Amino acid sequence: MSAKARGTVQLRGIEIRELECFLVLAEEPHPGHAAVRLGVPAETVDLLLRALEDRIGAPLLDRTGPRPCLTPFGEEFLDALRPAYQNLAAVVDGARDRAHGGPSTVRLGFRGKVHGPVAEAVRAFEEREPGTRVRIVETAHSDPFGPLREGEVDAAVVLLPVRELDLVVGAVFSRQPQRLALPADHPLAARTGVGIEDMARVSLIPVRRTPDHWLRVHAPTVTPLGRTIRHETGVDTLREGFSQIAAGRGAMLLSGDVADHADRDGLVLVPVNGLPESSLGLVWPRGDRHPSVPVLAAALADALG
């Protein structure tokens, strides 16, 4: 009897081990180092990755250079896989916790690595709420509010502005000048700062699936003097945007600390004068919220002083 006939749900033959192997290789591209983390022989790492590549039909790791690295397709796959895997792990962890009467979980969406006041707030929250822990769920640069609306996270740290009526904005922090990400050989890259009118000399790469009011701040189409700012094809992830910039296909406006963009090899960040400062905010759905979200919001407010 087939699996379908028995009512068994299959993940199209995909082995979880293959996905876990790829996720570790994304952080440790050397198969030997990845093997140590996974606790398997290096040959097994190679076999798992090649099986996944055969299943997908495209190479995920570039093995031709002196140092293995993800292919552009592999980077896109990583950006899509990581949050999906985290959500799957959260489902399993949550079921295990409920089965054993363990701690409940608050899912906090965050783009990139948690640090600064958010990390401090998470630690303070878990001290105040010993029966609840915070699970960090990495969110994509595009569609910043989708995970909140689809119930994938209970709260999220997002790049403002937020004008959606179904969302509540809590603490606002990390006010920083916006910076223009350029290839190192661009004429503007040698400057210590540029004006907003200089934006007409570059083509901006916008982020897909973001609200119009958000794009007007982070990817304007016109300068105050009426000069047109051209737009290139949009991207879904910062990594994809960085690849486009490095290839000379445009520039991006970035926000937050320079440390937030540590993977910007070969790019230069130049502050832009005349644009509103960027800021981050803790956001959660209006009405139907996790009961511990207000406690987390208070912990973040305390961390900000």
Given this model, what pLDDT does residue 7 score?
40
What pLDDT was estimated at residue 291? 82
Q: Do the bridges between strand 278-285 and strand 155-159 make them parallel or antiparallel, or are there none, so unpaired? A: antiparallel
Report the distance separating Cα 103 and Cα 109, nearest Å: 19
Could you give all domains of the chain from N- to C-terminal order, each with its CATH number? 16-91 (1.10.10.10), 103-175+280-304 (3.40.190.10), 178-276 (3.40.190.10)
Say if residue 262's pLDDT is above 80.
no
Q: What's the distance, CA 149 to chain centroid?
A: 17
Angle ∠(195,197,201) on CA atoms, nearest 5 = 105
Q: Which residue has the higher pLDDT, 106 or 36?
A: 106
| pTM of the model as a whole | 0.65
Residue 187 has pLDDT above 60, yes or no: yes
Q: Between these two residues, 32 and 127, which has the higher pLDDT value?
A: 127
Residue with the bigger pLDDT between 186 and 257: it is 186
Joined together, the tokens standing for residue 290 give: 């996790």
Of the pLDDT bands very low, low, confident and very high (cuts 50, 70, 90), residue 240 is: confident
Strand partners, 104: 132
Q: Give the integer Cα–Cα distance in Å for 153 and 109.
A: 6
133 burial level (CB within 10 Å; 0-12, 13-18, 19+): middle
- Assess whether pLDDT exceeds 80 at residue 221: yes
DSSP-assigned states of every residue in 169-208 = EEEEEEEE--EEEEETTSGGGGSS-EEGGGGGGSEE-PBT
All residues at 6 or more sequence positions from 282 whose CB lies less than 8 Å from its CB, including other chains: 155, 156, 157, 169, 170, 171, 296, 297, 300
Residue 11 confidence class, pLDDT cut points 50, 70, 90 = low
The model's pLDDT over 142-182, given as tens digits with 9 standing for 90+, comes to 778 888 988 889 999 999 999 888 899 999 998 888 999 99
Helical H segments across 31-185, by residue range: 31-38, 42-56, 72-99, 116-128, 146-149
Check pLDDT > 80 for residue 37: no
Q: Is the pLDDT of residue 10 over 80?
A: no
> What is the percent of the chain where pLDDT is above 70?
87
